Structure 1
């Protein structure tokens, strides 16, 4: 009798191990918009930044009250659930949160009725600069380095000359 129980336990352990191996061996399901999920440390940093004393003071100064930071904490928890356990529900909640955050950030852009959006760039977008700007640009660091790289002028810094730096 003891042998049959032992065999049953051994067989059930073996079945459990094979099920676990199958779970590990199978690739995780692909989640649509998975690219929106940031690294989990980013959510942790955002939460800690949102709840810091400096941020709370700034929030009170700007908005007259402190902001609710719980969404960052939820996102962090969901991120770790997705990363560690491949929890699809957590991944979908995290993606939905990112979509809402993005929508909220871009809402002023879409609600803008002050500026007319262009359909195409202006026709003369690449015309030369006015003469006074070209004269100002002539001796800028960027222009000099550009000419050096093109070989139009010799390098202004000779690497063969020994220099001494005192620290």
Structure 2
């Protein structure tokens, strides 16, 4: 299925749209998510994993709100859709947000890009990844092997 390309809003439209309107996906994605959630294969998987069927109605409701927002710029539908996206995002990140074991950093460590230890560099130097990195950095260092066309008939 072809998705609609996000349309760049004009300056007048940006002023009228809610602050978090960037969170809204193309409407066809909501419809696809609903179709996938309600499919026979998904229902079988849901029953196997959770022991019950998952409620897919929110995807359908989001699709309807998206169409209302896209076609008639219904602000109430847009607000409901943004609220739904925020709830979905919170549920996805809930384990990370509730994690009180690890201390969250504001910035990377100061020495995050220091050279690797010598023993690790020695192990790395003859790997496929090291050869490919050298090839990308200096294409003349590696010559392409001669190719022959051998046909057995």
Task: Structure 1: give runs of 5+ residues left out of the alignment.
Answer: 1-26
Q: Distance in 2 between matches of 1:165 and 1:45?
A: 49
Q: Distance in 2 between matches of 1:100 and 1:46?
A: 16
So what's the TM-score if we normalise by structure 1? 0.70
Question: How many aligned positions are there?
Answer: 138
Per-residue deviation, residues 6-62 of structure 1 (Å, max 9, x unmatched): xxxxxxxxxxxxxxxxxxxxx542222110000011101111111112221222222
Check if 1:56 corresponds to 2:74.
Answer: no
In structure 2, the CA distance between the partners of 1:84 and 1:119, relative to structure 1 (3 Å rule), is closer
Does 108-117 or 27-36 show the bigger shift? 27-36
Whose radius of gyration is greater, 1 or 2? 1
1:122 maps to which residue?
109
Check if 1:134 corresponds to 2:121.
Answer: yes
So what's the TM-score if we normalise by structure 2? 0.76
Whether the aligned pair in 2 keeps the contact of 1:37 and 1:94 (CA below 8 Å) is yes
What secondary structure does 1:157 align onto? coil
Q: Distance in 1 between matches of 2:94 and 2:114?
A: 34
Whether the aligned pair in 2 keeps the contact of 1:79 and 1:94 (CA below 8 Å) is yes
Larger fraction in helix: 1
Whether the aligned pair in 2 keeps the contact of 1:147 and 1:153 (CA below 8 Å) is no
Q: Distance in 2 between matches of 1:53 and 1:127?
A: 52
